[in-house]
Structure 1
Amino acid sequence: MNIHSNLLDSVPELVAIRRDLHAHPELGLEEVRTSELVARELESYGYKVTRGLARTGVVATLSNGTSRKSVGIRADMDALPILEETGLDYASRTPGLMHACGHDGHTTMLLGAARAIAERRAFDGTVHLIFQPAEENFGGARIMVEEGLFEKFPCDAVFALHNDPRSPFGQFALRDGPVCAAVDEARITVNGSGGHGAEPEATADPIVCGASIVMALQTIVSRNIHACDPTVVTVGSFHAGTASNIIPARAEMVVGIRSFDPKVRDELERRIRLIATAQAESYGMSTTVNHERFFDATVNHTAETDFVRELARRFAGPEKVTELQRPFMGSEDFAFMLKEKPGCYFFLGGSRGEGSDRPLHHPAYNFNDDLLPIGAAFWTELAEAYLNAGSADVPTTLSRVS
């Protein structure tokens, strides 16, 4: 890996920052302490810092030279409502909250890059570093865009990464086109007629009807959607009743839906509504279906993906760059930025290779601190390479580190 020598010297400081963030997790739109720490660090590096976009978002801007070209790099800052089980001495100090997705690492890597970019000044144009709140649940990217992110901070392209604890350490994984799924949610309420459990004939049992709906929903992917269109329909919640001798008046379920193609997305909503309504009618009951669309599919742009791929090959070696054979069914709200600007979202492997790596969102997951200098160095190179493209090469002072 090509790691800037000054960046290597700052690794202990980066580790300290990352572990401090890990010990103080904050949920989406509540990242007050995190955003203040980020803003304070960025100001000390000489950036013009803007606070308050999407409530707790931070955008840092640095210009150099005369070019009007600009680039945006995003890191997410929020944690998850998970009770940590790592046993680390820097484990979460807030019970029930945890950085179980590595956003503490993403934030720290971009801070490391911010410092290196400012120290080197080896670019011609403007760098916008976007520290985004609320990636996990509230669509912080969408809020930032709606509040004028790209009007206030014009970007010719935007980039973001996510750590992957299951992939080989230091491996870059990417693909052109769809990379993460759109995510929707349907809340279905079955309206029955309750009564005594010993006299079901005098009731309209919403549990039986709801169970029929659950089974019928499983046919959508297998019988209504083309086999080559990746889709998932998951009934993740079913609640009804309180006791064995009581038939409740209603049953409620929550359905998670994943897809990529907009037409397929529309068909999924149509079929869910139709099945819920028709199944309920067959039992003499009614339903209400509240269908909400959360995140669109995350779709990479060809030119920017090619740029990241080639840069990663030069940075880490061709053997460390792999093509994703299929997109992930997980979602990513960076989709909203990619709908506005061309760019690329990719993955950076962080496996320790010890057989103890925990997956993302696991209560024992912990970001691999050895990734910090790699991510920071790559972001530094990306900003410089993108802004210097088409201009005379800028001399580098990188040292080769294996």
Structure 2
Amino acid sequence: MKDQIPLVTPYKMGNFQLAHRIVLAPLTRFRSYNSIPQSHSILYYSQRTTEGGFLITEGTLISPSAQGCKNAPGIWSKEHIDAWKPIVDAVHAKGGIFFCQLWHLGRVSDQSFEPNVGVPPVSSTDKQCSPFLDSNGQVLFEFPHPRRLNTNEISGIVNDYRIAARNAMEAGFDGVEIHGAHGYLIDQFLKDEINDRTDEYGGSIENRCRFALEVVESVVNEIGANRVGIRLSPFANYMGSGDSNPEALGLYMVKSLNKYEILYCHMVEPRMKLMEERSECAVSLAPMRQAFNGTFIVAGGYEKEDGNDAIAQNHADLVAYGRLFLANPDLRKRFELDAPLNKHKRETFYTQDPIVGYTDYPFLEPTV
């Protein structure tokens, strides 16, 4: 029976009534040519929408200077707002709840995609990010030396997040998720392996979390706490973003977030690796789950069985699925029926084809 499967039980997230606990994780797809969301994204997102389902967009750039990769979507201009509207409408037409993930790459950037070619990307530091390697340890890309943000410049970046959140609401989104994970700009302030500042944004945990919390406060003041989530990965070391005490960092952040009464915290499991599926790990998100007052979402290589366990054991309220949801647009139905799952095609994750590896994964049965 349906009510015997924890992942497909209903859940009330703030003002949003969810029909199940399966979340579409934010997944970079690079199909938004020249930063403009395209019409093929209407099909991609609507394929993965169910009545009462919760979806989070791929990382969406908050400003021209937040760029650093090709064909990721933006949300800083009217052109972006107008391009997102039919995509959001398609998700809403099928009864979905849709949040826009706000993204700034910081030092993890290719200078050729910056608005002023040759100008260094900004970060908490002037330390260069280590090269991006493939699963065989071969260098795929070398990052440029970033420019350390001056203290008086940080408020301008905070304001970019605020404006992006307002734009997302104008495009029709139900809310926003602030991307504070995986070695991008906010994480570059949070982690002491990167952040070597000596001003009020560096040094202690409190100082390193200051930028992230200022972004949260600004976005909450703009669109309301009940429409704001954040994604964090305190245990991850993507792009050289390790920390000497990730447990303390994660706990400080979630306790601080309670002050703003945001809707949810989306945490990446410590077991998750960048290129592999996952690895087992002795540390746990449990202390952060217990400390946070809002909805708690977990992500990181989950399959059906451990997703059900996470809900049944109160480890999380919702479980975000990435590769499985990418390859199985009807993931909820497959979980309900215990049906076989399509295998993802990693080689098509980041290509620019509007169909292959994007909207051509088969359903269990033809859709209307």
Q: Give the TM-score normalised by structure 1.
A: 0.26
Which structure dedicates a bigger proportion of its chain to strand?
Answer: 1
Q: Give the TM-score normalised by structure 2.
A: 0.28
Higher relative contact order (CA 8 A, sep 6+): 1
Which has the higher Rg, Structure 1 or Structure 2?
1
